[in-house]
């Protein structure tokens, strides 16, 4: 069993975020000492923490991550979540590209005319 600080270092998830994950039911400690209130995590929870970090890096929100983890062993369900996120990110990329083009065009035109 790992104390929250040790688990935080191993997973590179801050203690504050681990407490938040516990509060929202995303990653609860294996046990909590009833006398001290210390949170203890097990080695098997390292995998769940890794999944959470990977999904966060893909841009998923915590509520969606909780849904995904509940169905993680269902490959088809996971594939659907990933495909939806991929589609969203492509759309965001197109929008960002359009905004970049407008910004570049505006910078280029500065000083070339009276506007």
Give pTM, 2 decimals.
0.79
Considering the domain architecture, whether residues 4 and 42 belong to the same structural domain is answered as: yes
Q: Residue 114: what pLDDT? A: 61
pLDDT of residue 37: 87
| Mean predicted lDDT score pLDDT of the chain | 93
78 shares a domain with 55: no
Per residue in 2-36, pLDDT (tens digit) is 999 999 999 999 999 999 999 999 999 999 999 99
In DSSP notation, the chain reads: -EEHHHHHHHHT--HHHHHHHHHHTSS--SEE-TTT--EEE-TTHHHHHHHHHHHHHTT--HHHHHHHHHTTT-HHHHHHHHHHHHHHHHHHHHHHHHHHHHHHHHHHHTTTS--
Residues 49 and 83 in one domain: no
Domain-embedded: residue 111: yes
The number of distinct structural domains making up the chain is 2
Residue 115, pLDDT above cutoff 80: no
The answer as to whether 64 is a domain residue is no
What is the share, in percent, of the chain residues with pLDDT greater than 70? 97
Q: Is residue 65 part of a domain?
A: no
Range of the domain at 52: 1-59
Q: Is the pLDDT of residue 113 over 70?
A: no
């Amino acid at each position: 069993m790992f104390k929250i600080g040790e688990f935080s270092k191993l997973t590179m998830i801050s203690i504050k975020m681990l407490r938040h994950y516990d509060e929202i039911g995303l990653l609860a400690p294996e046990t909590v000492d009833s006398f001290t209130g210390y949170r203890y995590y097990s080695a098997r929870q390292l995998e769940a923490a890794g999944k959470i970090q990977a999904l966060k890096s893909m841009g998923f929100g915590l509520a969606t991550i909780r849904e995904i983890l509940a169905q993680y062993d269902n490959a088809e369900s996971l594939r659907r979540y990933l495909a939806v996120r991929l589609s969203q990110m492509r759309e965001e990329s197109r929008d960002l590209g359009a905004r970049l083009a407008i910004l570049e065009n505006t910078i280029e035109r500065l000083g070339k005319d009276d506007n």
